[in-house]
Amino acid sequence: MIIVNLNIRGLGGGTKARYMRQTIGREGADFFYVQETKSKELSDARCFSLWGDNNVGWIHNKGDDGSGSLLSMWHKEVFDYESHLMGTGFIIIYGQYIKTSSRCAVVNVYSPCSLNGKKTL
């Protein structure tokens, strides 16, 4: 299972999206996790564009008004999504990794910069 993780500090324009697509292709990513998207809302079209095709599942945690936002994406031919659990600073995705027929949970987590936030998480 290949998981790529990136703190993007805002999805911004085409340069960051192009970098994400190139990284997903180059690394052969099964999962691509992004922290600090700074996005309050995302659409299928935007996630399809970030991944490079429409064979991607995704879940977005908008964080606190964009700050601390997370995006978890996975290749639908590699991972069979069952459910997810989301809270402040994390997304847990449950499903089956198709290549090995293994049920698993994959976690995208982002810790706040403050000590109090870290302790709470």
Residues 73-117 pLDDT 10s? 999 999 999 999 998 889 999 999 999 999 999 999 887 666 776
**Would you say residue 67 has pLDDT above 90?**
no
Question: Considering only 2-16, 25-39, 102-116, which range has the smallest mean pLDDT?
Answer: 2-16
Angle (CA) 32 1 121, round 5°: 55
User: How high is the pLDDT of residue 66?
Assistant: 57
Contact 51, 43 (CB under 8 A): no
User: How high is the pLDDT of residue 114?
Assistant: 67
Q: What is the CATH number of domain 3-120?
A: 3.60.10.10
